[in-house]
Structure 1
Amino acid sequence: MDVRNQADRTAHSRELILDATIECLLSEGYAATTTVRVQAMAGVTRGRLLHHFPSKQDLLTAAVARLGEQRLNRRLEGEDDEFDRMLGAERPAEADVGARSDWAILTLWTGLMHSSFFSALELWTASRTDNDLAASVRSHEKVVLDRVRENARELFGTELTCRPGFDEFFTMVFASMRGMAVTYTFSRRDPRREPMLTTWQRTARTLLSGAAPD
């Protein structure tokens, strides 16, 4: 037996199972994300699934970690990612603090409104009554938030991030963004037309740039 090929097949089947778990969380919700349903979506045998994940708890714990990776990478394979397009476009100069803060706020919001956020939200809700899952979520959310904070400093640029109160400003605005994002589970609005965008941008200009709001 080719040990390397066997290891590749084993790793591939694990990826298939985790991808199916995340897809199921997003499309059908936590309650419908059973090991039987995931097995069918992944196209693997029962034995193969149980080899990797002996219980639903093991499966969901691994899914939390996988979602954390996807949210840090800000993309799902095959997904049209507006966030990447915005990062690839020319960004305002750091010296143009008003335009730079407006752009950074819009980019933060666009990056947050990613399908992986809503899959993670299903696990957040489930963790309310599952202490083991909650512990896993807490651990990975800290990593995700630290990386988002790091990315935000790059988006805003040193001209703004060196100003007093930036960290507190970011905490406040990003918490507001995440709270607003939760409402998109039922509102069916277009996030590109979110009314709060203007409020966040004005807040950034007022607290960071000292420029008068438009």
Structure 2
Amino acid sequence: MVARGAYPAPVTADTGPLAGPDVCPPRTRSARTADSRALILDAAVACLVEDGYAGASTLAVQARAGVSRGRLLHHFPSRAELLVAAAGHVSTTLLAEVETRAAALMADQPPGPERVDRAIDLMWATFHEPPFWAAMELWTAARTDPGLRAALQVEERGLRTAIRRVADGIWGPEIAAAPLYAELCELLFTSMRGVACVYAFADRPAATDPHLALWKRLAARMLFAHAEG
């Protein structure tokens, strides 16, 4: 153990514990740059979720990330660019996690109606995770901040494409081919977003929200009514 404030003696490939074939190569500049960027983005997301848009100043993000002012401004010259990039960063991470969760959830290849119910449960759960609340803070602030609004619009266009791709994977090709599938996804997405906003001040379990049953009935009618007819 190295005492605080002390540094270990230099270790070489000949004399130190890193000697031998397992020596790790030095990190490249691009790798270090990517690490510092991710550190800043994670700090910005934490500020947005915990302290809101007003509390997510560049100084607050800098302090939480533990980076220099110059380092932060090198990556993100403006606050709007920083916060929009942070929201996109955490949303992209969540989408990858959702794909993994969906693969496990649908591993037993449930039949149509059961798959629909599971897909809706999974979709609804994503509206109660940090990316959603970070986005809410930005959307609200964008109403009166033209610079933020412009930056957010660009990010949202790319994010919507990624969301549709992940949603198609959750529902599966058979359901995604239904005539009203696209309309259903849009309806569910906008409805869930609206209902989720209530949870900013309503302390109740999201898993028992009465809208869940409504969404599932609606989905069954829109997706399978043509087959029954």
Give your verdict on TM over 0.5.
yes
Note closer, same or farther for the CA distance 1:159–1:66 as it changes in structure 2 (3 Å cut): closer
Unaligned runs of 5+ in 1: 76-82
Counterpart for residue 170 of structure 1: 185
Counterpart residue number, 2:213: 198
Indicate the larger mover: 124-133 or 136-145: 136-145
Distance 1:143 1:74 in 2: 18
* Code of the aligned partner of 1:168: E
1:8 maps to 31
CA shift, 1:92, in A, is 5.8
2:90 counterpart of 1:67: yes
- Map of 1:60-209 to 2, 5 A cutoff? 60-74=83-97, 84-85=100-101, 87-91=103-107, 93=109, 96-209=111-224
Q: Percent of pairs identical after alignment?
A: 39
Give the structure 1 partner of residue 45 of structure 2. Answer: 22
Distance 1:92 1:183, change over 3 A: farther
Q: Which has the higher contact order (CA 8 A, sep 6+)?
A: 1
Superposed displacement of residue 132, structure 1: 2.2
- Structure 1 stretches (4+) deviating beyond 6 angstroms? none
Which runs of 5 or more structure 2 residues have no equivalent in the other structure? 1-25
TM-score w.r.t. the length of structure 1 is 0.81
Q: In structure 2, what is the Cα distance between the partners aligned to 1:118 and 1:148?
A: 16
Paired positions, count:
202
Q: Which residue of 2 aligns with 1:46?
A: 69
- Which structure has the larger Rg? 2
1:32 corresponding residue in structure 2: 55
AA aligned opposite 1:103: R
Q: What root-mean-square deviation, in Å, do the aligned CA atoms of Structure 1 and Structure 2 show?
A: 2.6
Distance 1:199 1:142 in 2: 29
Using structure 2 for the length normalisation, give the TM-score.
0.77
Measured in 2, the distance between the counterparts of 1:97 and 1:134 equals 40
